[in-house]
């Protein structure tokens, strides 16, 4: 099935011939800052949801890790709490299955008896920076990018394993398997190592056209295909037969777990950004701009990634390192008064009020947002954050607004590279945590100079996972012919005057990066 634009409404035909919308499916979204379980009915309405957060560990500069057991427990806790909510509020609606979305580029080394011997080394980790820099400038690096669709960068599993081979030799020798966080979840539940084609396509080790591990990449990493998980379709499902595990999760024995895809690909599907010219902009801890394509278009400048949704559909785009992590950094460092307010106070709204009082363009203050290096379009792990143009009239509010504008300038630079590769973008769908902020979404519309739509639920990756799960379980899906936006979408129209201000600042933003990249 090729997914189409708009909310996909699904139905199961019962024996009496009537459509049954009472069943439900759970999308489990394993993210960088939290795991969320969201129960949906067939129309995409949220019936229950619960999320559990966890920290990013940084044992030394440039190292970013997470405890895989902590994330596993967050998956268990989120699912069991949602099942409790459903038992209380929707006791007559049967669960059809659970489908999984997860963040990309994680690496966990596992020993022979199935214990992790490293933390989960996440996308933001920079320890393999020199490995990536050396490889990127070679003909082999270009070949790997074209074959695997993954840019040569410290985020990639390929570069992480190459670094481990040279700098953590004992760990490398002990490693029986090299896996990601979703693979760890399925191993804990089913005692088997499997990886979906979508996540495999983000490792830098997978041939995205042949759907198999790419031998030249394996040779470079110094590993065998047997040390990686078995690649399977995004529709692959296993049924939980362990009664103890089922009880812990609060689900019936025999519940189907659909492996699903990567959070980025599923976000496009979840918001309906599946037609040419329609882009998904997602900002959680990091951020990304993505479009769906029916061909694996290669950018000879290696600015954008090409990841699989399914064998006939590729998500082309670019991810930035610095999304919501910037707002959290600014709030916790420079607006500590907000962190001490009672939990029932909406600090995000208060933050928006502060930056709304500042003129668009922050009165000439420009921010390069590269606090954790950068991925697309520069793929420069050495990039640094910079405020430029500071004058006496600039207040805390100016610095806060310039931070948000700089974050969006970085995303806009990705969008421009993407348009050169796949064609013009005319419509944006926004999702992720920051899509809850009307102020942020309006600035997004003004910077991009394109209409932006936000779905009623911004849990796009979880809903995308649910849609894949419904199809995997053989539940009839009937894409409806909707307009670009559904009636329930919030829409934001760009302000042309503000865009002209942002265009001038963006041009300066681009020049500053070019002038400072050697200093980084």
Span 403-454, pLDDT tens digits: 999 999 999 999 999 999 999 999 999 988 888 999 999 999 999 999 999 9
Answer yes or no: are the C-beta atoms of 418 and 318 closer than 8 Å: yes
The three-state secondary structure class of 398 is: helix
Please compute the mean of the pLDDT values over residues 496-508 and round it to a whole number.
98
Span 82-119, pLDDT tens digits: 999 999 999 888 999 999 999 999 999 999 999 999 99
| Cα 448 from Cα 280, distance rounded (Å) | 12
Please compute the mean of the pLDDT values over residues 178-183 and round it to a whole number.
98
- The pTM of this model reads 0.86
Q: How confident is the model at residue 488 (pLDDT cuts 50, 70, 90)?
A: low
Instruction: For residue 285, list its beta bridge partners.
Output: none
The three-state secondary structure class of 384 is: coil
Question: How high is the pLDDT of residue 262?
Answer: 97
Q: How confident is the model at residue 478 (pLDDT cuts 50, 70, 90)?
A: low
Locate tokens 């690649």: which residue? 231
Count Cβ atoms below 10 Å from residue 266 Cβ, excluding itself.
32
Answer yes or no: are the C-beta atoms of 104 and 158 closer than 8 Å: no
Question: How high is the pLDDT of residue 298?
Answer: 84
Please compute the mean of the pLDDT values over residues 35-45 and round it to a whole number.
94
How does the average pLDDT of the chain come out, rounded? 91
Q: What tokens does 381 get?
A: 């792990």
What is the side-by-side strand order in the sheet with 46-53? Answer: 46-53, 34-41, 24-30, 95-102, 256-262, 237-239
| Cα 78 from Cα 190, distance rounded (Å) | 19
| Cα 1 from Cα 213, distance rounded (Å) | 25
Q: Give the CA dihedral 436, 440, 442, 445, nearest 10 degrees.
A: -110
Span 124-143, pLDDT tens digits: 999 999 999 999 999 999 99
Question: How high is the pLDDT of residue 16?
Answer: 33
Which of 190, 336, 200 has its CA nearest to residue 260?
A: 200
Question: How high is the pLDDT of residue 433?
Answer: 84
Q: How confident is the model at residue 284 (pLDDT cuts 50, 70, 90)?
A: confident
| Cα 413 from Cα 432, distance rounded (Å) | 19
Please compute the mean of the pLDDT values over residues 260-278 and round it to a whole number.
93
Count Cβ atoms below 10 Å from residue 236 Cβ, excluding itself.
18
| Cα 416 from Cα 369, distance rounded (Å) | 18
Answer yes or no: are the C-beta atoms of 449 and 423 closer than 8 Å: no
Question: How high is the pLDDT of residue 6?
Answer: 30
Q: What tokens does 468 get?
A: 């894949």
Span 339-378, pLDDT tens digits: 777 876 778 889 999 999 999 999 999 999 999 999 999 9
Strand pairing category for 24-30 and 34-41: antiparallel
Which of the residue ranges 139-148, 331-340, 472-481 has the most confident prediction, judged by mean pLDDT? 139-148
Instruction: For residue 137, list its beta bridge partners.
Output: none
Question: How high is the pLDDT of residue 92?
Answer: 83
């Amino acid at each position: 099935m090729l997914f189409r634009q708009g909310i996909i409404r699904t139905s199961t035909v019962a024996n009496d011939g009537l459509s049954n919308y009472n069943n439900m499916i759970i999308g489990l979204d394993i993210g960088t800052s939290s795991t969320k379980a969201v129960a949906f009915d067939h129309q995409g309405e949220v019936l229950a949801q619960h999320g559990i957060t966890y920290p990013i560990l940084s044992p030394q500069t440039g190292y970013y890790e997470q405890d895989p057991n902590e994330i596993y427990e967050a998956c268990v806790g989120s699912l069991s709490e949602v099942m409790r909510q459903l038992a209380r509020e929707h006791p007559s609606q049967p669960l059809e299955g659970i489908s999984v979305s997860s963040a990309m580029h994680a690496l966990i080394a596992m020993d022979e008896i199935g214990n992790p011997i490293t933390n989960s080394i996440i996308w933001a980790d920079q320890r393999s920076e020199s490995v990536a820099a050396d490889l990127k400038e070679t003909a082999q690096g270009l070949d790997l990018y074209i074959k695997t669709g993954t840019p040569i960068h410290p985020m990639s599993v390929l570069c992480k394993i190459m670094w481990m081979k040279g700098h953590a030799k004992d760990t490398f020798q002990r490693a029986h398997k090299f896996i990601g966080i979703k693979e760890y979840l399925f191993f804990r539940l089913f005692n088997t190592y499997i990886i979906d084609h979508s996540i495999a396509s983000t490792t830098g080790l997978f041939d995205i056209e042949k759907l198999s591990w790419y031998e030249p990449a394996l040779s470079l990493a110094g590993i065998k295909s047997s040390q990686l998980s078995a690649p399977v379709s995004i529709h692959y499902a296993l049924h939980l037969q362990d009664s103890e595990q089922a009880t812990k999760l609060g689900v019936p024995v025999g519940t189907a777990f659909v492996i699903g895809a990567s959070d980025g690909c599923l976000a496009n599907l979840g918001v309906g950004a599946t037609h040419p010219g329609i882009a998904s902009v997602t900002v959680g801890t990091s951020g990304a701009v993505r479009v769906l394509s029916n061909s694996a278009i290669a950018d000879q400048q290696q600015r954008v990634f090409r990841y699989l949704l399914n064998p006939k559909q590729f998500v082309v785009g670019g991810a930035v390192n610095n999304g919501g992590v910037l707002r959290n950094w600014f709030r916790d460092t420079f607006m500590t008064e907000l962190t001490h307010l009672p939990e029932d106070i909406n600090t995000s709204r208060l933050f928006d009020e502060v930056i709304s009082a500042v003129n668009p363009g922050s009165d000439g203050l420009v921010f390069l947002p590269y606090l954790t290096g950068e991925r697309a379009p520069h793929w420069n792990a050495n990039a640094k954050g910079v405020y430029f143009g500071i004058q006496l009239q600039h207040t805390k509010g100016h610095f806060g607004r310039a931070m948000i504008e700089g974050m969006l300038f970085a995303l806009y630079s990705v969008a421009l590279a993407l348009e050169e590769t796949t064609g013009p973008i005319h419509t944006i769908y926004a999702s992720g945590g920051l899509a809850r902020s009307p102020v942020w979404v309006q600035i997004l519309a003004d910077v991009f100079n394109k209409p932006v739509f936000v779905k009623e639920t911004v849990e796009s990756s979880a809903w995308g996972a649910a849609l894949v799960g419904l199809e995997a379980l053989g539940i009839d899906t009937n894409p409806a012919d909707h307009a670009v936006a559904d009636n329930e979408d919030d829409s934001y129209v760009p302000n042309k005057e503000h865009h002209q201000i942002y265009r001038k600042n963006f041009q300066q933003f681009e020049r500053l990066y070019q002038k400072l990249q050697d200093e980084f």
